[in-house]
Amino acid sequence: MIKLNFDVKRHTLENGLEVITIKKDTQIASINIGVKVGALYENMKEKGISHFIEHTLFKGTINRTGEELNDELEALGGEYNAYTDYDVTVYTISCLIEEFKKATELLADMIVNPTFDKNEIEKERGVILSEIRMSKDDIEDFSFKNVNKLAFNKSALKYEVTGLEENVSGFTRKKLMSFYKRYYTPKNSLITMVSPLEHDEAINLVKNYFSQWEGQKPEPINIIIEKNKEITGISYKKDIEQSTIVYLYTFNDLEKSNELPLRILNHRLGESSNSLLFREIRENRGLAYDIYTHLEITNNIKTLYIYTAVSEENVDEAKAAIEETIKSVVDGKIQIGDRDLNIMKKVHKTAVISTLEDSSELCNYMLHQALEGEDIFEFVKDMDRLNMVDILKINEVGKKVLKSPTIHILKSN
C-alpha cells in the first residue's frame, strides 16, 4: 500500500478559477497553471496560435518588460517553463519555498496582464518559424509528423502543435489577443500548487494575484476524433544516413477499464530496454540501435506509436520483424506472464513514489488529471487494479489495439 505524504484540497475562486492546493513537507514548492486550449481547439487558419501565445506571454506584461520578467523569473533560482500540447497549455514554476510568493505573483502577471507588444511579437515570430524549420531537419520529428499526416484526414493530429508556417507568418497582434481573450479565462483554467503552506495560506496567495482575472468559459467546440487510416506510405529526404519506420495505432473506442492492461502491454512491447521489440530488432537481429513505443491516453487522444531507424537495406527485414512480433503477441504465442506483471507492478510503484517525492512531478500530474476530469488519486488506485489484471485481459487488449496500423517509411533520395 502506498502511503500518501501530502494532503489535498480543491477550491474555486469567485471568478471561477479552480485551485488545487497540495500540502506537502517540502523545501521545493511548485505552481502550475493549465489553460484548456491547444492545437485541438484551432481551426485551419489558427494552426499554431496556441503555441505562439505561449511564447508571447514571456515577452512582457503591463508591469514588466520581457527582459524584466525573465530576469525576475531567473532570479527565483528555480525552474520555470511552459509547453503547448494538443489539448492544454501549461506554465510551471518550481522554486525554494521562500521564493514561492514571488513566483505566484510573476506567474499571475504573465497570465493575466500580457501586453502582446508588436516588436516582441515580430521577434518571436522568427523564433517560432526557426523552430518549425528545425523540426524538419530532425528525422525523428519529421517521421512522426509524416505518419500523422498519412493517418488522418481531418483530425488536428494531422498538424504539428507549432502550426503551419503560413499561419505563423501572418498572425497579427489583434488575432493573438482575440484568441487569448477567448481561452485565457479563469473559468477555462486550473492551478495546482505543491508547498508546505497550510491550505488557507496557499489559496490566499492565489487570491491575492489572480482574483482580478476576468472572463467567461469559452463556447465548446467540436473536436474531431478520427481513426487512423490503414495505409503504408513512403517519403524521401535528402542526405539522411538511416531510414525510419513508424507504426501508428488509434484506439478511440477502448474502454476505460482496458487502459491499465494496455499500459502493461505497452511496457512489455516497447517501453523497456528489455522489451519484446527491442530484444527482437536489436538484440536478436542487430537491425537497429533502438526501437521504442510511445503511448498517449487522454480524453481526446488515444494513440500508440512504434519507432525505429535502420539502414535502408534493412527496412524490409525490420518491418517484417516488427509485424512478426506484433502478430505473436496478438495470437498469444508471446504472452505477458506473471513475471512481467510483477515487474510492471514494481515499475508502477517506482513511478508513483517518484511522483510523490518530486514536487514538480506531483504538481504536473495533479494538474493533468484534474484538467482531464479524472480522479487525481488514480495512480494510487491503479496499484490495487494491477492485482486484478490478468494475462487474458492483456491479450484481449492487444487484439483490440494492435490492428490496422498506419505505417510510414522515410528513405533517402
Enter the C-alpha cell of residue 313. Answer: 537495406
- Provide CATH 3.30.830.10 ranges for the chain: 6-210, 231-412
Q: Is the pLDDT of residue 334 over 70?
A: yes
Encode pLDDT of 72-84 as tens digits: 999 999 999 999 9
Of residues 178 and 386, which shows the higher confidence score?
A: 178
Q: What is the dihedral of CA 332, 336, 338, 344, to 10 degrees?
A: -170
**Which amino acid makes up residue 342?**
N
Enter the C-alpha cell of residue 150. Answer: 498519412
Q: In what order do the strands lie in the sheet with 288-297?
A: 231-237, 406-412, 243-250, 302-310, 288-297
Enter the C-alpha cell of residue 1. Answer: 500500500
Encode pLDDT of 194-209 as tens digits: 999 999 999 999 999 9
| Distance of alpha carbon 92 from alpha carbon 193, whole angstroms | 10
Q: Are 281 and 288 in contact (CB under 8 A)?
A: yes
Long-range contacts: 129-135, Cβ < 8 Å, 24+?
129/165, 129/168, 129/169, 131/162, 132/160, 132/162, 132/163, 132/165, 132/168, 133/165, 135/160, 135/162
Encode pLDDT of 275-322 as tens digits: 999 999 999 999 999 999 999 999 999 999 999 999 999 999 999 999
Burial class (CB in 10 A: 0-12, 13-18, 19+), 153: exposed
Encode pLDDT of 107-160 as tens digits: 999 999 999 999 999 999 999 999 999 888 899 999 999 999 999 999 999 999
> How many Cα atoms occupy the beta-carbon half-sphere of 80 within 13 Å?
23
Mean pLDDT (the chain, rounded): 94
Q: Which bin fits 10, alpha (ψ -120 to 50), beta or left (φ > 0)?
A: beta
- Around Cβ 167, how many Cβ atoms within 10 Å? 18
Q: Is the pLDDT of residue 43 over 80?
A: yes
> What does the DSSP 8-state code read for residue 98?
G
Encode pLDDT of 348-382 as tens digits: 888 888 988 999 999 999 999 999 999 998 888 88
**Which amino acid makes up residue 368?**
H
- DSSP-derived pairing of the beta strands 243-250 and 302-310: antiparallel
Enter the C-alpha cell of residue 323. Answer: 509485424
Mean pLDDT over 11-26 rounds to 97
CATH topology of domain 231-412: Cytochrome Bc1 Complex; Chain A, domain 1 (3.30.830)
Residue 387 backbone dihedrals phi, psi, to 5 degrees? -70, -15
Residue 273, pLDDT score: 80
DSSP bridge partners of 114: 61
Give the three-class secondary structure for 369.
helix
Residue 312 backbone dihedrals phi, psi, to 5 degrees? -60, -35
The CATH superfamily holding the domain 6-210 is Metalloenzyme, LuxS/M16 peptidase-like (3.30.830.10)
Q: Are 254 and 225 in contact (CB under 8 A)?
A: no
Q: Are 207 and 193 in contact (CB under 8 A)?
A: no
Give the three-class secondary structure for 272.
coil
**Which amino acid makes up residue 376?**
I
Measured in residues, the chain has a length of 413
Q: Is the pLDDT of residue 1 over 70?
A: no
Angle of helix 315-330 relative to helix 391-401, nearest 10 degrees, comes to 130
Mean pLDDT over 402-410 rounds to 97
DSSP bridge partners of 10: 20
Q: Are 335 and 269 in contact (CB under 8 A)?
A: no
Residue 348, pLDDT score: 80
Please, which residues have CB within 8 angstroms of residue 135's CB and are 6 or more apart in sequence?
A: 141, 142, 145, 160, 162
- Around Cβ 83, how many Cβ atoms within 10 Å? 13
Please, which residues have CB within 8 angstroms of residue 27's CB and are 6 or more apart in sequence?
A: 96, 97, 196
Of residues 87 and 383, which shows the higher confidence score?
A: 87
| Distance of alpha carbon 65 from alpha carbon 403, whole angstroms | 53
